[in-house]
Structure 1
Amino acid sequence: MTRRTYPPQEFSGWLAGLRSWAAKCPDGDGLWRTAADQGLLSLAVPESAGGSGAGYEAACLALEAFAEESGLSGPPFAMAAQMWACQEPLVAFGSEAQHDRHLTPLLTGRAVGAFAATEYDAGSDLLSLRTRADRDSEGRWRLNGAKTFVTNGPTADVLIVIARTAEGSALSGLSAFVVPRGTPGLHIGRDIDKAGLAGAALCSLHLDDCVLDDSDLLGGPGAGFAVLMQAMRHERAFILAPVLGLMARALSQAVEHARSRSQFGRPLAAYDTIRQRLVRMHLSLTSARELLHATARQADAGTLDHGRSSLTKLHVSTEFNRFCQELPDVYGGYALLPETGTTALLTDAVASRYYSGTSDMQMKIIAEGLGV
């Protein structure tokens, strides 16, 4: 499917409108629907699939602006999880009927989407997946198993579930199913308590004889690995786009604090130790932003590969953590006060090393791409 790119003048005007909305957006039940009304969720989806066709770089810029203006970390993360791990596979593998039934409601904010692959004893180890889908005597599929760390799971209306349908390798033994909320046998667990990413809910799922048919398969039998790779290639590349906005906001606030607070009769900004911290924070932000945006342009050109996605995830999460190691010492003891946002950002930075594949897993993928 082809994607177009907004002319710069047209997109900059739209982005300014999004920033204005994000600065005063509601943080509550109405947030998801109003974000969709702004067009945020449909930016990366081709026009032929019901999206605006603006492309990946536009979507990343929008997520960044949303986080920067609102100061929220969890909601843009949750929306990005839907965009990259749920919408992307539906766009690439979904039938026209699945687009009508599932994708369109996701784009318009009438539904929330989630992706369920991780299990208690199987994260990146796909051969250890225990969730199964077996044919019954009537030719229908029966799903049984459990998933965990499902972002958006507590409120999801549409879930893409990866299950084993045959023995053997992950390449041929996995299938992907679109499971609507309310399917008999689908049990959605309570919210998992966590530190960080406030406003992004995750849970476990239990599947107890969920009955589905072939129309619920995404990409056909045996396409589960391809669906998973489609989701991970985009999620790893772009899940941290909102982080750039959070870093930009934190840097601006830290600079203002350094200018306004004085010690020993001089502003903090007059001391080289503080100035150097701010410069290193600026360097981390600039480096992370340049790489992620370049990766988005590769995706828009149709040349994004798994190695580049992992490189982007690894680099942005690393720079996010470096940024947050400098931030507390700009504030000193004030860093412990909630209004600075420092401890919350530190927690988000630690979490960024683990979701969508740990930093060690990203290094393994990159190393394999280098032939080592």
Structure 2
Amino acid sequence: MTHRTSPPDEFTHWLAGLRSWAAKCQRDADLWRPAAAQGLLSLAVPESAGGSGAGYEAACLALETFAEESGLSGLPFAMAAQMWACQEPLLEFGSSTQRDRYLTPLLTGTAVGAFAATEYDSGSDLLSLRTRADRDEGGRWRLNGAKTFVTNGPTADVFVVLARTAEGSALSGLTAFLVPRGTPGLQVGMVTDKTGLRGAEVSSLHMDDCLLDDSDVLGGPGGGFAVLMHAMRHERAFILAPTLGLMARALREAVEHARSRSQFGHPLASYDTIRRRLVRMHVSLTSARELLHATARRADADTLDHGRSSLTKLHVSTEFNRFCQELPDVYGGYALLPETGVAALLADAVASRYYSGTSDMQMKIIAERLGL
């Protein structure tokens, strides 16, 4: 479904407004609806589907700006997870009825979406999925199983759930279901405690004889693999857009620290060891930003493929971790203090290597694209 163009001129003015708003955000406030009211969730959605039609690059710039100015990591990540793994599949595979029911509330922030594919014993191994949906005598679907690491799970109003509906290949044996919160038999687990991505809530999901109709199937019976691949192609490419903003903010603060703090009568910034660290951090940020934005432009031109998505995810997460390896030594012992944000950023960097597929999984996909 081709529906994006380059960011329109008015986007520049909108982005300035977002920057001003985000700079005033309180970290402990409930910001999902206020952020959605800014139009953040609708940028990559075409006007014909109720969005602004600004495009993928615009959406990535907005997520980057939001994270940079607010200093938040979890909320932009959680919103990006909805954008790429819930909204995108609804745009591509959803019926007009499904879009009317779910997409409009998701874009306006009056509903929250979650994608539930990962299970306790199967991450990237789709053939090991145990969640099943079987037809009953009345022709309805009975959904049973459990999911874990469901981003937005604790607050989601609708879940895109991947289940096995036939034996054999994942290409034909999986089906995606739209499961509203409150469906009998659906139980959302407690918030999962974690060290990184503060503000992004994650939980488990349990389904015990959830009764669903064909109208709840997204992409048709047996179409789950296509739904998953579409979601992953976009999520892997763009889920790390907010980290560019976090890196930019951290670099700016590190430079200010190096200029203002003195050792042996001289500013830290006068020492080559510190200067080289800051330059390497700048290189990592610039490299990651250039690749991600170029990937977004490919998506706007409808030429994004899985190899490029995996390349982007791998490269940005790698540079994010390199960036964070340099950061603590700019601060020395002060890096242990919460107010510097160094420890929190390190945790976010480690996490970036695993969600949307591990770095090893991205390498496997890239190698296959190379014919290896």
**Aligned to 2:190, what secondary structure does the other structure show?**
coil
**Which amino acid is the alignment partner of residue 370 of structure 1?**
L
Correspondence for 1:6: 7
Q: Which amino acid aligns with 2:209?
A: D
Distance 2:123 2:265 in 1: 54
Are residue 186 (structure 1) and residue 186 (structure 2) matched? yes
Q: 2 CA distance for matches of 1:5 and 1:178?
A: 31
Amino acid at match of 2:322: R
Per the alignment, in what secondary structure is the counterpart of residue 237 of structure 1? helix
- When normalised by structure 2's length, the TM-score is 0.99
Query: In structure 1, the residue corresponding to 2:247 is in which secondary structure?
Result: helix
Confirm whether residue 198 of structure 1 aligns to residue 181 of structure 2.
no
Q: What amino acid is aligned across from residue 183 of structure 1 in structure 2?
A: T
Question: Residue 315 of structure 2 aligns with which residue?
Answer: 315
Q: In percent, how many aligned pairs have the same letter? A: 84
2:255 aligns with: 255
Mapping for residues 179-258 of structure 1, pairs under 5 Å: 179-258=179-258
Report the Cα offset of residue 28 of structure 1.
Answer: 4.7
Letter aligned with residue 280 of structure 2: R
Residue 22 (structure 1) aligned with residue 22 (structure 2): yes
CA distance in 1, matches of 2:137, 2:331: 66
Displacement, 1:105? Answer: 0.3
TM-score, structure 1 normalization: 0.99
SS at match of 1:137: coil
Confirm whether residue 160 of structure 1 aligns to residue 160 of structure 2: yes
Q: CA deviation at 1:183?
A: 0.3
Letter in 2 for 1:143: L
Give distance in 1, aligned partners of 2:239 and 2:197.
13
Structure 1: unaligned runs, 5 residues or longer: none
1:76-155 equivalence runs, <5 A: 76-155=76-155
Q: 1:292 corresponds to which letter in structure 2?
A: L
Please list every run of 5 or more consecutive structure 2 residues that lacks an aligned counterpart in the other structure.
Answer: none
Shift of 1:352: 0.4
Describe the SS at the equivalent of 1:154: coil
What amino acid is aligned across from residue 5 of structure 1 in structure 2? Answer: S
| Residue pairs, 1:333-344, within 5 angstroms | 333-344=333-344
Per-residue deviation, 1:3: 2.0
User: Conserved in 1, the CA contact under 8 Å of 2:4 and 2:301?
Assistant: no
Q: Tell me the equivalent position of 1:352.
A: 352
1:133 counterpart SS class: strand
Rounded to whole Å, the distance in 1 between the matches of 2:336 and 2:84 is 34
Q: Secondary structure at the match of 1:111?
A: coil
User: What CA distance in whole angstroms lies between the structure 2 residues aligned with 1:29 and 1:169?
Assistant: 45
Task: Give how far 1:60 is off.
Answer: 0.2
Following the alignment from structure 1 to structure 2, what is the Cα–Cα distance between the partners of residues 107 and 290? 28
User: What CA RMSD, in Å, does the superposition of the two structures yield over aligned residues?
Assistant: 0.8
For residues 134-165 of structure 1, the C-alpha deviation after alignment (integer angstroms, 9 at most, x for no partner) is 00000000000000000000000010000001
